[in-house]
Amino acid sequence: MRTDMTVAVLGATGMVGRRVVAEAGARGHRVLALSRKGETVGDGATGFAVDAGDSAALAEVLVGSGADAVVLAVRSHPADEEFLVGVTRTVLDAAARLGARVLVVGGAGALRSPGEGELLVAHDPVYVPDALRAVAEAGVAQLRVCEGHFGADWVYLSPPGLLEPGERTGRYRRGTDTLLTDAGGRSWISAEDLAVAVLDELEGGGGARHFTVVAEVADEYPYPQRGE
């Protein structure tokens, strides 16, 4: 288990990125917080200003960072698949040159729908309404970029159906490429516990290139259930 890494977090001011910065710092890692404005978002983290859409500048910062691991936690609002794919490819290329591991915090849409064979969550209207289809499809495209890149050491983490700020319990259940639910059909995790899963993976590694996690306990589940 690695406990002395330099971890670069791209998207450090976002919901997930901010919590990954905090979790990595709490575990004693050196943290580089990359964002458009270069804000320092955690005690002991070093802020770097970089435009994720500027591939040359982003590659220069990453290669020069000396990072052992890069966490890509960037999303686009509204969904911009071309942007997301481009950033992912740039990070993978730079990490391959650097010899760093990449953990992509992707989307639940890239997972298979429970009990539906090869049907992706992105294509299942039970989980993804039309209004969110573009967001889900962008996550699938992001995973395909990773799968087609043979020079980088990458892993893709799909969150469960619902991801939101909450409590850090330090507990979660891990799966591979199928959306996880509990006995009540709930698919949820706090952003804090997702960050725990991110650092657990970077420090130890679970062996799968595409994995997902779900909370062990969730009190409320506002996400739609199959058959409702």
Over the chain (228 residues), the average pLDDT of each successive run of 10 is 87 96 95 89 86 94 95 89 96 96 97 91 94 95 96 97 96 96 86 98 91 78 42
pLDDT for 224: 43
Task: Spell out a b/e string for 57-93, using b for 16 or more CB atoms within 10 Å of the CB, else e.
Answer: ebbebbbebebbbbbbbbbbeebbbeebebbbbbbbb
pLDDT of residue 216: 85
What tokens appear for 30 in the block? 């050196």
The CATH class that applies to domain 6-214 reads: alpha beta
| Nearest in space to 140 (alpha carbons), one of 187, 85, 103 | 85
What pLDDT does residue 1 have? 60
Q: State the pLDDT at residue 205.
A: 80
Q: What is the pLDDT of residue 171?
A: 94
Query: In the prediction, which pLDDT does 105 show?
Result: 98
Rounded (5°) CA angle 103-95-58: 100
Note the pTM of the prediction, 2 decimals.
0.92
Domains of the chain by residue range: 6-214
How confident is the model at residue 182, as a pLDDT? 77
- Percentage of the chain lying above the pLDDT 70 cut: 94
pLDDT value, residue 226 = 40
Q: Which residues contact 29 (CB under 8 A, 6 or more apart)?
A: 3, 4, 5, 6, 7, 199
Residues 6+ apart with CB under 8 A from 183: none
One-letter identity of residue 26? A
